[in-house]
Amino acid sequence: MAHLTLAGDSCFTAAEAQKLKDLINKVAPIKVSNLRGSWVYYAHIEGDSEAAQQKLAQLLPLEAALQRQTVPFRDILHDRMTETLSTDAPDLNTMFAESVSAPLEVVNIFENGRDPAQVLNEYNKARGLALDQSEVEYLVEKFTELGRPPHDIELFMFAQVNSEHCRHKQFNANWTIDGLAKGKTLFEMIRNTHKVTPDYTVSAYSDNAAVMEGEQTNLWAPDYSTGSWKLNKELLHVLAKVETHNHPTAIAPFPGAATGSGGEIRDEGAVGRAHFASSLDIMLEAPIGSARFNNEFGRPCLAGTFRTLLTADDTNVEGEFRGYHKPIMIAGGVGTVREKHALKRPEDVTEGAHVIVLGGPAMLIGLGGGAASSNASGEGNAELDFDSVQRGNPEMERRAQMVINTCVALGDQTPIAMIHDVGAGGLSNALPELVRDAGFGGRERCNFSDVGTVLSRERDGVSKLILSDKESNEYPRPIDVPMDVLFPKGRTLERIVSSKKPAWPVFDPVASLKSAIDGSLSDADLFKQAVQRVFWMPAVGSKSFLITIGDRTVGGLTTRDQMVGPWQTPVADVAVTATAFSLNGARTGEAMAMGEKPTLALISPAASARMAVAESLLNLGAADIKGGSHRGDLRRVKLSANWMAAVNHPGEGAALYEAVEAIGMHLCPQLGVSIPVGKDSTSMKSSWKDGETKKSVTAPVSVVISAFTLVEDIRRTWTPQLRRVEDVGETVLLYVDLAQGRKAMGGSALAQSLGAIGHEAPDVRDVDLLKDYFDALAQLHESGVVLAYHDRSDGGLITTIAEMMFAGRCGVDLMMDGIAASGNLSDMVDALFNEELGAVFQVRASDEVNFKRCFATCGPPAGLIRKFGVVQATSKQVLTIRYGEGAPFVSLDRAEMQQWWTKTSYEMQKLRDTPACAESEYATILDSEDPGLSFNLTFSPSENITPLTASITGFFGKMPRVAILREQGVNGYAEMAFAFRAAGFDAVDIHMTDIIAGRSLSDFVGLAACGGFSFGDVLGAGQGWAKSILLHDKARRELADFFNRKDTFALGVCNGCQMLSRLKELISGAEHFPTFVENASSQFEGRFGMVKVEDNPARPSVFFHGMDGSSLPIVVSHGEGRAEFASDESFRALAEAGGIPLRYVDNRLNVTEQYPYNPNGSPGGVAAVSSRDGRVLAMMPHPERNIPADVASYVPADEIEEWGEFGPWLRMFRSARRWVG
C-alpha cells in the first residue's frame, strides 16, 4: 500500500481555514492564530496476482512521478497555488512553520560594464512584468535621475499600474491602418457616444462603474441608531458594470471565474497550451466557480450567454485556428447608488485622511495579474500564469459590503471619503479611520488594516507614493517614488497595422447538409437533421445546466429571470428587477439584456458590432423601457461594451478599429444610445507547439454588449411563452422582419454546425427603421395587446418559434408564404435559419388590427409585418410548416424538438451532477400532459387576516418586533425584513455579534434566521452558525430563553433552517428534527417549484392559518437541502405528529421524491418541519422572496390582478402577525 498526503501550503491561509478560524475564535477560550488541514489519499491494489503486484510496483515511486508535470493526478488531487502534494505523512512542525517574508531585492541595473536596459529586460522577462522596450528605457531614465537602482517592489508596482490591462494602451493608441493615419483613438470613438448623447448619464468613464440617472424611490435599509428596517424615499441612481476574467478562467476555470464574478478582473494573455484547462473543464468548472461566488455573496444571476467556436483559419495555414481556447468569462450587473454618493470627489480626501484596506488577508496568490494578462501569446512563464490567478472569498466580500452599506446608510455622515476596489494592479480601498472608530468592521467581523495617511506634498515639493517598513533598518522605505514616475504622462502607443480581407468560401446550406449527412434523404428529413444540429449548438440550445446552479432570487426583487412560464423554460430575452421594495404598489424597475455576434466578425467586424448592439436592444425590448422625451426614446438606454481581440494577430488590430468605429461613430449616435462603460482584453490568442508544428487559436474580434435601462412597469414585461388557445382564445403569430427580406446565412448556427463560416453576414441596414421599431414597442407595451414576444437570433426563425412552443407547451401551424421565396428546401432553409434582425409576436386574432395600428403610427412600412402562424390546441403539440395549399413541408413534434434543444445541456449536467437526476429531468420533457406550475389556493391573497391594531399601530402602541437574525455570510436578510414589515411587524437587524455582546431578545416576539452561507458553510450548511450558539454560553442562554417563552415564534429559512435543525436540544418539541445534507443531485439547486401545505387542523399553526391544502410554487435556492432523519422511526414520529407542514409536490400535486420536482431528494417530500407547538418552523424553500406579487418567475396574468400588490406567500407572515395578536 502507498499513500499520498495533501497538505495546506505553510505560507497560505485558505478562505475555508479563515472562516473556520473565525468560528473557533468566536466560541473557544483560546485564540487560534493558524489553522491547517490535510487530506490523505491511500492507493491500494487488490489481489495477489502477478499483474496486481506489477501495478503496485509501478505506483510506488511516487516522489519521482509527482515531479513530472505530465502526471494527470497531480493537478487533479490538489490546487497547486494553495496546497502542496507530498508522499510524506503530515508533519505538524512543517505545516505550522512560520513563513519568513522574502527580503527586498535591489535590482541593480547599473552593474559595472552592463547595459542597464539589458539588465532590466532580463529581470522583466524572468518576472513576467510585460514591460515593452520603451517602458524599459523610460524606467532606466527615471531611476538614473533618482540616482539609485529600483527596488523589486517598485518595478512590480509600475508593471501592474502600467499594464495593458490597467492602462488600456491599445484603446488610447494612435492608429495607422493601411498607411492611413486615423484621426481618433478607439477610446475617443467610444467616448463619442456619450458626447453625442450625454442625457441621463451621471458618471461615465471616470469610475469603476457607469451611473445612470435614476428616480425617486424607496431605500430599504436598517436605521443605524435603532436597527429597525425602514423605507426612506430618495433619489437613487442606477449603476452598471460588466467585467471580463478571461486569462484566469483559461488557466484555472473555477477560481478564475469565481474571482471574475467577485469583480477582481484580470484579462487574457496566457502562454502555451500545456497549462491551459481543457475546453470541457472550462465549460464544467467555470460556471460553477462563478455561480458559487454569486450564490455565497448574495447576488442573483439573471442573464448570460454560452458560445463555442473552433474553425480552421481562412488562410489555410497549417496549425492556425480561430476560436476560444482562451475563453471569454464575463460578469456584470446593475445596482443602485444614492445621489449624494454617485460621484467621487477628490477634494473630500484631505491631508491626514487614513487609508484603510478592508477585506481578507493578503496572500501570495493573484500576483501580477495585470501584467500576466497583458503578455503576448507564447511569451512568459507557466508558473507566473498560475500565480496570477486569484482565489475568491465571497463570504469575506459580503462582510466588506456590509461595512460599506452601513457607512452609506449614514448619508452625509458617512466616514468614507473615497473608495476603490482591490483589483488588477494592486489598487486598494481608501476608507478613512472613522470606519474603525464607528465599530462597523467589528460588528461584521470584517478585517481591515490602517495602512497609512494621505500627504499633500513632500518637502521637496514632489507628490510621492511612500511605503514605510518599520521592521527594516536597511530599507525603511521599500517604495519611495514620485507619482509622475508611476503614472507617466504623454506616452502614447503608436499602432501601425494592415487590414485583411476575409477569404471564406461561399456557404451553400443544402449542399453542405447533403454532404455532411446523407444526400439521399428526403427534403423533410434533411430539414429535421438541420434543426437537430442547430439545436445541439451551445449558443442555441437550452442553457439550463448553467442556470439552475445559480441563485436567481436572492434580494427578493427579481421579477424576470431566465426561466419562463409554468414549465420553467430557459428562454427569457431580458432580466428585470424591481427598483426597490414598496408598500404602496410602485412598479418601476431596471432591465438588462445582452447581445453578442462574434462569429460574424470573421466575415465583417463592423456588422458583428452593429448586430451585437441591435441584439441587445431587441432583447431589452421585451421590457417596458422607460423613454426619454417620449416613450420610444432610447436615450435612457446605456450600453456596456466589452471588447476582446488579438490585436497583434495579422488583420485583427484593423478589425478591432473597424468594429469600434462602426458603433462608436455611427450606429450608437444615430440610435441615441451611449456607451458610458466597458472593458477591453486585447491578447485573445493562445499558441503552443505540437511536436515540431506551431499551433495557435485566435479569437475573432468579440464585442459583448450589455444594455441597461429603467423600466416603466415591471408587470408589462413580455416573455416568449405562447399563450394557449384554451386560456386566451384564438391567437395569431405576427412576424416583423427588420431585415426587409434579406437572408444572409454567414456566421449562422447552421453554418457553424456544418463546419462552415459563410461569406455574407447579417447586418443593421436601416437605423431609422430600428428606431421606429422601438417607438412601436413602446405603444404596444402600453396597449397590452402582446401576449408573447421573442426576437430572432441564434438559430434563426425556426429557433424563435420552437422556443416559444417549448415555453407554452403547445403547437403551431406556420405558413411560410411571403417569407420564403418558395417551398423548396433551399428557400425554406434560408428563410428559417438566417439570423437577421426580426421578432415574432403573439396577439389575439381580434387584436391584430390594433397591433398593426401601433406600427403604422410609428413609421415602419406595413410590409414588415406578416401573419405567418396560429397557435394550435394544447392536445396538438406539433410544429407544422406549410407553403401554399398543399401538404405540409414538414411536421416536428414539440417533445422531440425540445429534447434535441436540451441535449447538450443534459449531457453536460449528466457529466457534472448525479447522472440519475439529469436523466429524470430530461425525461420530463416527454410528458406532454404535464400541467406545469399552478396556484391552487384555499385562501385569498388579498385578504388581510392581521388584527385591526396592525394597521393602526400608532393608536395602540408599537408594532411587535421581530429579530432579523444574521451571521457572517448570511445574505437573505433584506427580503426577510420586508416580508415581516409588510405583515405589520417592526423588523430589526440583529447580528450574532450583538447577542454575544449582550443584546437581549426579551423585547422581541419573533426571530427570523435568514438564508445564506454562514461561515461559508465550512463545517456543513448551518453547522458553524449552530455551533457558535451552542458553544457560547451567553448566546446559548439567550436563544434558549427565547425559545422557552410561550409568546414567541421562530422562523428559519434555508441556512436559517439548517441552523435551527441543529439547535433541537434548545427547542421544545424538536427532538425529531432532521439535519439537512447535500442535495441528491450533488449540486446547488435554484428553482421555482411546487409545494403543498399539509392539512392538519389539530396541530397549532402559527404560520399557515387558513392555508391548509393549498399548493403553490415557491423559490428553492440551496445546495444542502435534503432532510436526513436519525432513523425511519424519527421520520414517522414527526410526520404522525403533524411536524411536516410543507412538502414538495409534482405538477399534478402529488407528494414526490422525483427530481426536479423534489429538488433535493428529501424523503416524503419534506420541505419544512415544525416544533410540536408550531411556534418554531424550519423550512428550506424561500417564502420571503415572493412577497410583492410581481416578484416571481411565473405568475398567471389573470390571477395577479386579483391578488393586488402582494403575492400569496405574504399570508404566511400575516398568519404569524395574527397569532401575535
Contact 602, 505 (CB under 8 A): no
Cell numbers linked to 1011: 438564508
Whether 865 contacts 852, CB under 8 Å: yes
What gap in Å lies between CA 62 and CA 3, rounded to an integer? 9
Show the 3-state SS of 471-516.
CCCCCCCCEEEEHHHHCCCCCCCEEEECCCCCCCCCCCHHHHHHHH
Name residues whose C-beta falls within 8 Å of residue 525's C-beta, 6 or more positions apart in sequence. none
As a whole number of angstroms, the distance between CA 682 and CA 693 comes to 25
> In this structure, what C-alpha cell is assigned to residue 550?
445559480
Amino acid at residue number 1106? G
The residue annotated as part of the active site, out of 151, 1057, 1182, 1205, is: 1182
Q: Please confirm, yes or no, whether 194 is among the known catalytic residues.
A: no
Pairing of strands 890-893, 878-882: antiparallel
Return the half-sphere exposure (C-beta side, CA atoms, 13 A cut-off) of residue 237.
Answer: 19
CB distance 431 to 445 below 8 Å? no
Q: Are 644 and 702 in contact (CB under 8 A)?
A: yes
Environment class of 979 (CB within 10 Å of its CB; exposed 0-12, middle 13-18, buried 19+): buried
Are the C-beta atoms of residues 696 and 685 closer than 8 Å to each other?
yes
Which residues, 6 or more positions from 649, have their beta carbon under 8 angstroms from its beta carbon? 685, 698
Tell me how far apart the alpha carbons of residues 484 and 767 are, in angstroms, rounded to a whole number: 45
56/1031 Cα distance (integer angstroms):
47
Q: Which of 1054, 1057, 1072, 1085 is catalytic?
A: 1054
CB-facing half-sphere around the CA of 905: CA atoms within 13 A: 22
Q: Distance between CA 1065 and CA 1045 in Å, rounded?
A: 15
| Burial tier of 696 (Cβ tally within 10 Å: 0-12, 13-18, 19+) | buried
Of 1121, 1112, 1101, which is closest to residue 1171 (Cα–Cα)? Answer: 1101
Place of cell 447552421: 750
- Are the C-beta atoms of residues 1177 and 1056 closer than 8 Å to each other? no
Q: Residue 674 burial by CB count (10 A; 0-12/13-18/19+): exposed, middle or buried?
A: buried
Q: Is-catalytic flag, 1054? A: yes
**CB within 8 A of 948, min separation 6: which ones?**
none
**1184 is an active site residue:** yes
What residue spans of 539-666 are helical by DSSP H?
Answer: 544-547, 605-620, 652-661
Distances (CA, A) of 1020 to 331, 466, 551, 614: 28, 44, 19, 46
Are 430 and 419 contacting, i.e. CB atoms less than 8 angstroms apart?
yes
Catalytic residue, chosen from 615, 658, 1184, 1205, is 1184
Active site residues: 1054, 1182, 1184
